[in-house]
Structure 1
């Protein structure tokens, strides 16, 4: 329960947040009041928000695709535009699928896919950051999805090779030189490893694409998010590793999802049931 706040104090709080540059000042004020355990704690939360700390860290959660996702300080905060990635992944994944989310952060994508997909046979997530893994394990405990700590496919059981119907990842794709242009709350508070994609933003995505064909089942898909200006380069990457590329865009949210489909006609059938 939040601390009682007089109308005058609430309006002053909204004005302070708006002056600090919070676009949704009234909504943020409402959430901070609801989260505050008393006047002193509320004042501390407001001070931290005005200083630039992400609202999600102050609340301890983020709303994503209709789910309330736990978010710990330093863990990548799920963005609204990543809803396109989730929708694109769900559209190409049939019932009883085997699904792995890489670079999972809080596990938000897996949490939503667990609800949207028809009884996935397998759902698991991976992140290289132990803090993100701890957060994702809380978010995915209710759906029984294991979360592994390690680099991309490395910690997954070898028996899963060639058997995954969907590999989905919101991997880091910000070019290193563009990191300085990110909003201060992302640049100062989120893990750089969750954002920095190397010189052209595709360093992690290239490694992911190169390894994906060994893990995808025939007809399976790799689905990732990329930035504006990266589509042509990543399309070439997918083609080079043997995945058929396609692109889904949402102009309203400035979001781009790219898909790479592994062919059905795998020569000789790499793996036997």
Structure 2
């Protein structure tokens, strides 16, 4: 046995050094190959799982990368249009009620307008028939209150009371024409008709002390009295004999010989020494 071991050791000692180096290099190459393959496998595994890691793992600094999609829904509400009613000729309160019933807001403006009736709408904006949105304002215009100073003399036709210097009797004239104060021809025709009647009565050269003007209309709350006031302003003022006259305006109903919109005048003349005075006998009905 001892001889055999010695032979083995002798055999080991007799091994070729070159062969031993080859074996060592082979082992080293095999080990490096294993390490390389393991690195490749690990890298492939890391790449294949990267998408999951990106979506789950937070970014550096502790915040996550999150993509948010926002959907906006727009709802279109139809606009409600309302037709503006015709308010011309309506009283202010009635006009306000008509607008309120349609969901509109009435705005009242007072404007100077001597020809319009008090408290009655004579203009509006927007006009009738226009379509506006609900809640829109509608401007209605009514005449502004005016302060008029008029010199008047109380002279009831049924009494003999009269200012000093005014004759007791009077002359009556009727003009069955309507007056349009916005038409110069209408005013001119009315002045011409009154002059004609004064000349025919023989008193055109004299001066009137008091004139009572009656506007004819169907009812007492109609335009009769206001028409008489317009007659005084636009017709009597054009004739010299009425330059210093006290005037009164009244209403008279429609009847025989009295047309709606016409006029009646009772003219009391100033007494003069050259003309015979009019007496109670000179009170005609016309």
TM-score by length of 1: 0.23
Larger Rg, first or second structure (1 or 2): 2
Higher helix share: 1
TM-score by length of 2: 0.22
